[in-house]
């Protein structure tokens, strides 16, 4: 781990180094350091307490830190881990619930869900694996369209 930290400190942003140091201090880095660091969900889960530093002090984001780590490992940023993270954030949502909300709030919530789905559709990983994974979003997108129609969008 020290080798990775030294390399990150020398060649990447200070905030990326601080985030990895944070992982180390929390004793989150086990035997398979690379797999842990490439799993995007870990950044969302374990860097919450650093959000103020990341966003305000360094004007950065978890995405930027993750991109640098992927770069360090010579891995594609738009990968299976990022896809799974994004999918998890949308797949259990039920667009029909938005019909019960105030019209403006419902439309805004639907727009946010639609944006998240579009982000998945535009991802390189999704495009390369569309045949295998398209079924994940199919039902959700159909429901979203029906609810949008009901709300006059």
pTM for the model:
0.83
How many contiguous H segments (helices) and E segments (strands) does the chain have? 11, 0
Give the pLDDT of the chain (153 residues) as one tens digit per residue: 889 999 999 999 999 999 999 999 998 887 789 999 999 999 999 998 888 888 888 999 999 999 999 999 999 999 999 999 999 888 888 888 877 878 788 788 888 988 998 999 999 999 999 877 767 677 777 777 777 777 675
- Among 60, 89, 81, smallest CA distance to 123 is for 81
Element at 111 (helix H, strand E)? helix 103-122
- Among 60, 56, 82, 58, smallest CA distance to 70 is for 82
| Contact call for residues 137 and 83 (beta carbons, < 8 A) | no
88 and 145 share one domain: yes
Domain range for 96: 80-150
Domain boundary among 72, 99, 121: 72
Number of domains in the chain: 2
């Amino acid at each position: 781990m020290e080798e990775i930290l030294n390399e990150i400190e020398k060649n990447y942003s200070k905030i990326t180094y601080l985030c990895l140091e944070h992982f180390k201090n929390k004793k989150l880095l086990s035997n398979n350091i690379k797999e842990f660091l490439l799993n995007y969900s870990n950044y969302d889960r374990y860097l919450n307490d650093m959000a103020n530093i990341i966003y305000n002090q360094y004007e950065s984001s978890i995405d930027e830190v993750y991109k640098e780590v992927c770069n360090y490992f010579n891995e594609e940023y738009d990968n299976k881990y990022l896809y799974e993270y994004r999918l998890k954030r949308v797949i259990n949502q039920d667009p029909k619930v938005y019909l019960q909300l105030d019209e403006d709030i419902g439309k805004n919530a639907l727009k946010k869900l639609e944006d998240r789905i579009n982000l998945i559709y535009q991802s390189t990983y999704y495009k390369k694996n569309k045949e295998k994974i398209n079924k994940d979003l199919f039902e959700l997108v159909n429901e979203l369209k029906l609810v949008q129609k009901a709300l006059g969008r």
